[in-house]
Every structure is written in C-alpha cells, then in structure tokens.
Chain A
Amino acid sequence: MALPEIAESFTGQVTRITLGATKADGGTRTSTVTVGGARNAVYAGSVDEKSEKPVIALDVLDSKPSDWPDVLAEPYKDVLDSPGDWAKKCVEELGAELICINFDGIHPDKGDKDAAHAAKVTEQVLKAVGVPLVLWGCGNDEKDNEVMPKVSGAAKGEKCLIGTVTEDNYKSLTAIALADGHFLITDAPLDINIAKQINILAADMGFPLERIVTFQATGALGYGIEYAYSIQERQRLAALGGDKMMAMPVICNVGYEAWRAKEAKLVDTPGWGPAKERGPMWETATAICLLQSGADIIRMRHPKAVATVKNFINEIWS
C-alpha cells in the first residue's frame, strides 16, 4: 500500500531578519547574520520551507564574571576582564558569527557600573570585532532604563539586537531602539499571552514587527526546558498559521541557564562523571533541544558546547 502524503503546509511564515549594518548600510560591521524565515516546523516540509540556519551568539560579559565555574571560566581566563579581547577570541578562535554583550555588571547587586562604562564596553567590542552584536541589559528595570539607551546610542546605526523589554517596562528602550535603528528583543516570563501582548505594545509605539525578536525566557535541561520548548513550539505554529504578532524569530539564553544547573557546575559529585565534560554536555543538550522547538538565535558560553551545537546545526540545515 502506498504511504499517504502527510506533509502539512502552512500559509504563514516566520519573519526573516538581517542583523548588522555594513559600510554600505551605514554601519561598520564586516559581516551580517540572517535568521528566521521558516515556513514549516523544524524537520518538516520541503527544503525551501526551512528557516535560515540558526545562529549561536557567544556571550561576552561587560565585567569579569565572579560566579562562573572553573570549567566555564578556564577557556576565557586571559580575556575575562577585557570585553574587546574576549569578543575577538570568540570570533577569531571560536568562529562566532554573533556576539552578545551581557551587561551584567551594571546590575545594582553585581557591580552597579554606570552608563559611561557600558557605552565604553560597547565601543570596545564594536572596534574589536566586525560581527553584529546583541546588547542585553541586566534585568533591573531602573538600571536598564538608565544605561541601555546610552548603549544603544553607542552602537547607533549598527543594526544590533537590543533588549530586553517587558510588558511592564518597554517604553524607553523601544523608543531608543527605534530611533537608533536597532532590532528589539521582547521578553515574556514563559507566558505566551504576555509574549503576544508585549509585541502588540511595541507595535503600538510604531516599532516595526519585522524588527522584533522574541525571548520567551529559557529553562535549562532539568529546569523547565519543557515549558520553554512548548511555548516556542506554539509560537512557531501560530506564526505558520498566520499570526503576525507571533511571527518573530526566537532567541534563547542557553549559556546562562545551563550553567546555573548544579548538574553543570558542581565538581565534587562522585558518580556524576567529570565536571569538564558534564557542564558542556548540559549546555549542548539544552541548546539542541530548544533548536528543535524553532529557536533561531541561541546565546551560548562554553567553546566545547558551541562546537558541538554548531556541528549539529550544520548537519541539519545543510
């Protein structure tokens, strides 16, 4: 008996975005990154319905991290207090196509550094590397509102991806990102209804939907990954069904979440296997799982995990 044709097709499509402005585009980037564009679920449909290849954004912190486990800090030990060199290492040695500056050090509890510091770091990284940037605040509303507009200005016209904005705190950063020509990350706490609402709120301010990337919050393997997975899957299906308010590419914060897991970072744990393998494996498993839910950009940290996930992406999307 012939097998019935069960391939589903859809009318909608995930938005396709290109980050980074080259000289021709009024910026100083030497490369750009294009993601999104899927017209079917991951693995499903014909080749031309696939998304662009998902991209890994390597994390660079604005200040030397104090809480990174040794296994994670070791590969970066010479550059941890120099964001420019750190970014350079990520691009030149690890092949990063995208760098995410995470402004952790501006958080009142983690250094409370000021806007001038953040703007300087942005300039340093822009100078050190030619890839597009993701600019990610510290998550404290007050401090982000004070600092991130300066960060945005320091990278004006470079078509960065900047965020995040939440339902309760979106106005200032949305306005600045719009004015400076950046792309915007809308952030929802594992809640698809709020995710949609924040996109609507940004759109109401005149921010183009085609310049938004959604962050649904990420859970690591063993720490709520199933919630992140199912929400991202539902977002993808809504996008394919034609819901324009849900048709944005998705970013995940895998590095940070995976390395918070005790399974990734604890060292003296007999029977759990060597820590230097376990941590990268935890990050790898989290990333690969979320890629299958339709993630387009993945923030990552450990070089080993990055290499493995890159191989996976190349296999699947070639």
Chain B
Amino acid sequence: MIIIAERINGMFTDVKKAIAEKNKQVIQDLAKKQTEAGATYLDVNVGTAAADQEGTMQWLVETIQETCSTPLCLDSQKPSVIAAGLKVINADNGVILNSTPLNKKSDEEIFDKHIEMANQAGPKASIIALTMDKNGVPQDTDTRVAIAAEIVSKAMEKGFESQRIFIDPIVLPVKVPNAQVQPGNILTAMDQIKYLSDPAPHMTVGLSNISQGASERSLINRVFLAMAIPHGLDSAIADVFDQDLMNVVATSEMLMNRQIYSDSFLKVYASANR
C-alpha cells in the first residue's frame, strides 16, 4: 500500500505556526516520525495562511529534504505552487504532483500542465488526477468512471504510463446530508476504474475526508479503507500516526496475499520503511 502521510499541511495549527515562524525543527520532526510510522510519501501542503505560497512550498521542500529522503507529494490546487516545489526538489526517489482535475473552467489545460511538469521532474514522478472536471465533482458512479477513462486515455496519448497515475475518485464527508450514498458509489466506480488499463492506474483517496466532522473518525477511516482495498484501492492519503489504521493496512496487505504471513506481520509492516 502506498501511504501518503498527511500531516505536513498548513491547515494543522502546529504546521501553520512553524511556517509562520520558519521553525524547521517542527517540520523535520514530522517528516521523520511519519516516515517511521510507515509513510511511503510525505504530503506537503502549504495551507491557506501563507501569503507567498510558492516560497513557502520551496521552504517546506528544502526543510524536509535537509534531513529526510522520503519522497514527497506536493499538494496544491495551484500548478504554480507545485512548480515552485519541483524547482528545488530532489525527485530521485520519486515525487507525486497532487492534484489535477481532468479540466476546469478557469484552466482547460491544467491536466496537460501536470503531465508536463511530471515529465520534467523525472521518470519516477507521478500525478494524482481527480475524477472531477469543469462541471465539478460528480455524484454518480458512471460520471466518475467516464472522467477516469478520459484521464487514462489522455495520459496514454501523451505516452505517460498508467502506473504513474493515481486516480482519486474523491471521497466526500459521510456526514454531509445525502452523502451517505457516496462511499458505495466510489467502491462501484473503483471496480471499473481498475480495468481501464493494464497495468491498472493506482487509486488513492484522501481518507480522512470521509470522516470529516463525524464522530468515531478513526473507526470510519479504517473501515472504509478495509472496504476499499479489495476494490482496487492501493494508496491513501492518511494519518500514519493512527496506529489502528496502520494495523488495518498491514492486515489487509497480508489478507490480500501481498505480504507473506508471519506471526510478526504487524511489526514487520511497520518497520519495512525504516
């Protein structure tokens, strides 16, 4: 499972404060601890507070890479912020550009820009593409699959390998009125998305989104994760400090026969990244 650790995000108070005070220690600690907890990638999101988002992204990337070689996932809705991060990054171990919709009203070419940026960043650079277009976030299964199909075929036209694409079918908070039908829709969509190419594109979700504002957040997150894995989910942006969640990841990998069982399977999964 490709786990993208979510904590280096300016929306969290400690990170916001660290960015404002240029406190490297806080950021480097988070990078180290998330890596030890099993992160495959570290998400980097400047949040909304910083005035200079491009400069802040660069500072975060440089700060993390001073002490940590875990690959990064540059997270912004603005291509210019991702581009700024890419200018200073060492992408030898890979990088993910997070994220682009298929297109949007203000920027029809946004998807192509991301492909181009990823190609420039090197052969190990991937993109997260949302099943979303200029009409917004689809609520039904079919539109999600249709957009995913367009994403995959557009990438193929450009010679961008399907294994460098992470399709994000967009998880919505389950507590939002009428949103309870969405988790089921997403699982049905995943069943079809995994057949769009061979090898299949990766699939990822912003996992914590599903429990936004709800009670029993950790339980909701990890049950949905366990439900989605057999439908083809092989990545998630998640809270790696949630030990119960990481244990679900390890157990799912074992039950899906992706890891050979041993009596210490939980411990082995946790230590595999260290």
Contact = CB atoms under 8 A, between A and B. Distances in A.
Contacts of B262: 193-194, 196-197, 200, 245
Contact of A192 (B260, B267, B268): B260
Interface in B247-267: 258-264, 267
B260 A243 contact: yes
Interface residues of A, number: 14
Interface string A280-318: 000000000000000000000000000000000000000
Nearest to B265: A196
B101 to A, nearest CB: 30
B260 A196 contact: yes
Contacts of B272: 244
Contact of A197 (B258, B259, B264): B264
A196 B261 CA distance: 8
A89 interface: no
Nearest to A242: B272
| Chain A interface SS verdict (over half) | helix
| Chain B interface SS verdict (over half) | loop
A207 to B, nearest CB: 14
A115 interface: no
B234 to A, nearest CB: 13
A200 B270 CA distance: 13
Nearest to A246: B260
B260 A234 contact: yes
Interface in A77-101: none
Contact of A238 (B260, B263, B264, B267): B260
Nearest to A193: B261
- Which of B258, B260, B263, B272 has the most A CB atoms < 10 Å from its CB? B260
B266 to A, nearest CB: 11
7 contacts: A193-B261, A193-B263, A196-B260, A197-B263, A200-B267, A200-B268, A238-B260
Interface of B: 258-264, 267-268, 272
Which 8 pairs from chain A and chain B are nearest by CB?
Answer: A196-B262, A197-B262, A200-B264, A193-B261, A197-B263, A196-B260, A238-B260, A193-B262
